[in-house]
Amino acid sequence: MTVKRVRFIQELLRFVGLEGRVHLEWISSAEAGKFVQVVTEFTETIRRLGPNPIQRTVRPFKASGPRRLGTSSAPSEAETDAESSEEPAAASHL
């Protein structure tokens, strides 16, 4: 069941562009060496991926302000887009 769910979530996250941040590995309590190796590798992987893009892309909610209305929010959308277009350099070579 675990592997089914994890494989599904990995595919779903890949589709929305957040891949590489979920990993599943079976390690027995007797395999200390494997544990260290897997955790080290995964830490490195995550470090290379950089900080979670959700916090950077998702705008904090402001109760008022004209920027959230209609076309006036266009510049901020463009920024978001431009900003993320740099990201492939960091994330596309998976």
Partner 1 sequence: MIQQIKSWLEDATVDIFIGYRDVDGHAVPHGYTADRLEELGNWTVGTHRYPLETFALHLARIHPEATIGLLGRDCNQRALNVLSVWNQLHADRIRVLSLSCCPSALKTRADCSYLVPRKSGSFKHQVGVDAEMEAAELEALPSGERWARWAYEFQKCIKCYGCRDICPVCFCAECSLESDELVGTGKLPPEVPIFHLVRATHMAGRCVDCGLCEEACPADIPLRLLYRKVNAIVEDLFGYQTGSDTAQPPLSVLGDRVELEPLPMEKTG
Residues near partner 1 (CB under 8 A): 1, 3-12, 14-20, 23-26, 38, 41-42, 44-45, 48-49, 53-54, 57-59, 61, 74, 77-78, 80-81, 83-88, 90-94
Beta carbons of 10 and 22 less than 8 angstroms apart: yes
Beta carbons of 84 and 57 less than 8 angstroms apart: yes
| Least distance between partner 1 and beta carbon 12 (Å) | 6
Q: Report the residue number, 32 or 76, with the smaller CB distance to partner 1.
A: 76
| Least distance between partner 1 and beta carbon 30 (Å) | 19
Q: Report the residue number, 18 or 35, with the smaller CB distance to partner 1.
A: 18
| Least distance between partner 1 and beta carbon 64 (Å) | 13
Q: Report the residue number, 30 or 82, with the smaller CB distance to partner 1.
A: 82
Burial 29-61 (b: 16+ CB within 10 A, else e): eeeeeeeeeeeeeeeeeeeebeeebeeeeeeee
Q: How far apart are CA 6 and CA 45, in angstroms?
A: 18
